[in-house]
Structure 1
């Protein structure tokens, strides 16, 4: 069940010289919701992710997290509001173990808030360390990485490395999670585990998830609603069934036959 809006972008416009990469794009993402973002190459999906995460400032429009206007905030300030993002290219700390990648993700805030700050109030550092490791162990198990915590992250095969990066993104519980092609390079079994972990994150922890993925079947199965971009504009938005049935979407992206 979706809750209150966690992320709202309105009227987003981005230009690269004379090219209009995004034109009046809007999206609202609610707590506990998993929403898909699809479209052909060059549709503006990555540009929209860059705007939402603070890497790129839009030429027009606004971005709000839990009602707070963060349009001019840096990625770090947005992260302090609870936003996390993964990238198409993996960004693991390769020389650290998988478990240490997750522990680092819980430490970065220091006393600024979130899980780390709550635990720092405990009287003993030992209790803090135990709680951090318990959270890391749970997340590793959720993503099928139990037993791989002591492995150097840089030695993992592509699919496992992708899962480790996703696990790190949620080690400190996010409010909003932006996933950029998370299923890329994964096996069928890893995709199923990924889908299950994302559902639990939304349903149990109330996280709002926005997913960009070229595996349309994966998106349609996992997401409650789907937004379709084409040439920088919103082409369609609706349930997976509605999007599949939309002739404009079939012509621009899915092909001539629905289903």
Structure 2
């Protein structure tokens, strides 16, 4: 088994009297898609902030490709292959979709986009099914398409580690299928390590080979989707609540993928 590309060890974060992360240890290997789930307030986005360099932990270390990067900046991490999307959409609304991808490579030099940057943007747009939106301004896109543009921008400069925060939020079933396909191909074809936070449990269980569950700032469970699903503590703390909420939201639809997973 390949050594982890990312390894966070005993990470603690406090906000005054609130203990947001409690000794969290997590790792992701090249080519792996790992899911991170848990109730609201479990610490998922705080952990992403630590991994991406936006927040320094109060304790613990972050290793990337065997090197301690705990004190490295977000810019350093981005330029060394760590890419992140956000729970709230962060597109450049006054730029076209194609230019949103081009700017992701601007740091590589030159005041103006090079033909190579344009070619790479076109290749990624095609892979993400966004050819028809290349010249559309990003600010007017519906949520599902905007999510895919965010993913495409993260892929414009090939990542080694991809941190995806709620990538399926607001998407249709068809959009989620395409999104999952792009994520799988990124992991397989580019040997990219992928860690994703997602409330859509069905999406996580179908896509990820390993799942980590956070609760109250700590790791509650870790394992394959089947192992996590069968864990009584996880069902009590999170999965049972998700199933109840889904049933209340769609009482007339009968059992869906979520019901199948949680049954």
Q: 2:160 aligns with which of 175, 181, 186?
A: 175
CA distance in 2, matches of 1:108, 1:151: 23
Residue aligning to 2:256: none
CA distance in 2, matches of 1:235, 1:4: 23
Residue aligning to 2:77: 78
- The answer (yes or no) to whether the contact 1:98–1:150 under 8 Å persists in 2 is yes
1:134-182 residue CA offsets vs partner (Å, 9 max, x unmatched): 2212211222211110101112111111111110011000010100000
Asked if 1:253 is matched to 2:252, the reply is no
Q: CA deviation at 1:57?
A: 0.5
Aligned pairs (5 A) from 1:6-17: 6-17=5-16
Q: CA deviation at 1:110?
A: 2.5
Asked if 1:204 is matched to 2:189, the reply is yes
Asked if 1:194 is matched to 2:193, the reply is no
1:30-77 residue CA offsets vs partner (Å, 9 max, x unmatched): 000000000001111011111101111101100011111110111011
TM-score (norm 2): 0.89
TM-score (norm 1): 0.90
CA distance in 1, matches of 2:231, 2:61: 28
Aligned residues: 243
SS at match of 2:222: strand
Asked if 1:235 is matched to 2:220, the reply is yes
SS at match of 1:134: helix
CA distance in 2, matches of 1:166, 1:7: 20
SS at match of 1:26: strand
Q: CA RMSD in A?
A: 1.6
CA distance in 2, matches of 1:102, 1:223: 26
Asked if 1:153 is matched to 2:138, the reply is yes
CA distance in 1, matches of 2:171, 2:96: 20
**Greater alpha carbon shift after TM alignment, 5-14 vs 102-111:** 102-111
Q: CA deviation at 1:190?
A: 0.9
Q: CA deviation at 1:247?
A: 0.3
CA distance in 2, matches of 1:63, 1:89: 25
Asked if 1:87 is matched to 2:72, the reply is no
CA distance in 2, matches of 1:187, 1:151: 20
Where in structure 2 are there 5+ consecutive unaligned residues? 244-261
CA distance in 1, matches of 2:188, 2:132: 26
- The answer (yes or no) to whether the contact 1:3–1:32 under 8 Å persists in 2 is no
Asked if 1:218 is matched to 2:203, the reply is yes
SS at match of 1:218: helix
Asked if 1:56 is matched to 2:55, the reply is yes
